[in-house]
Amino acid sequence: MTVFVGGLWGLSEYTGRVFAQTDTVAAGGRIYRQKGDCQACHGWAGDGRKMDSQMPDGANLRESTLEREQLIFVIKCGLPGRGMPAFDRRAYTDDRCLGRTHDDLERMGLELFDPAATLQNREVDRLADFLYEKVIGQGQMDRAKCIDFWGEEVTACDEFLQ
């Protein structure tokens, strides 16, 4: 993404992004890395290079074509039988996940992976803000994106050439 420094429009867009980043995007990034531990299966960059070899192979989220609503649904209800945990505490206890319950899943032989922690709706929203800003549709990770992603030059960015 290009930042036009100088023009008034560019500047306001820039400050807008910085504000967005300090609030919801940064909070979403922390949830991705810490509370949700999404990176264990999806990799820190969301590119599917998982951090934990014992974990299922997560999808490459950078190439995801999901709309925001679908994305939020997948995070809350997971993908039973495919290794993606459900992060909504009440998933499969009432009708919020296509009306299916834990019993239904068991009957269908679909195993549900346990999440590191469950997330509140607000946290899932922040996660979505973060993913759309930094991961989904952002193309392959490169050095500039890596520095932007972490907010500084970290050693994780060394693998990307100048």
How many binding residues for ligand HEC (CB under 6 A)?
25
Q: In Å, what is the CA distance from 81 to each residue of 39, 40, 84, 85?
A: 19, 18, 8, 9
Task: Rank residues 15 and 34 by Cβ distance to ligand HEC and give the closer one.
Answer: 34
- When binding is defined by CB under 6 A, the residue of 14, 73, 113, 132 that contacts ligand HEC is 113
Whether 100 and 86 have beta carbons less than 8 Å apart is answered as no
**Residue closest to 75 by CA, chosen among 125, 33, 30:** 125
C-alpha 18/C-alpha 115 separation (Å) is: 31
Task: Rank residues 83 and 147 by Cβ distance to ligand HEC and give the closer one.
Answer: 83
| Interface with ligand HEC, residue 126, by CB under 6 A | no
- When binding is defined by CB under 6 A, the residue of 27, 43, 45, 87 that contacts ligand HEC is 87
Looking only at residues 25 through 64 of this chain, which bind ligand HEC when binding is defined by CB under 6 A? 36-38, 40-42, 55-59, 61, 64
Residue/partner pairs of 8-14 with CB below 8 Å, 24 or more apart: none
121-134 helix and 68-77 helix, angle to the nearest 10 degrees: 130
- When binding is defined by CB under 6 A, the residue of 13, 26, 51, 74 that contacts ligand HEC is 74
Binding site for ligand HEC (CB under 6 A): 36-38, 40-42, 55-59, 61, 64, 66, 71, 74-75, 79, 82-85, 87, 113, 127
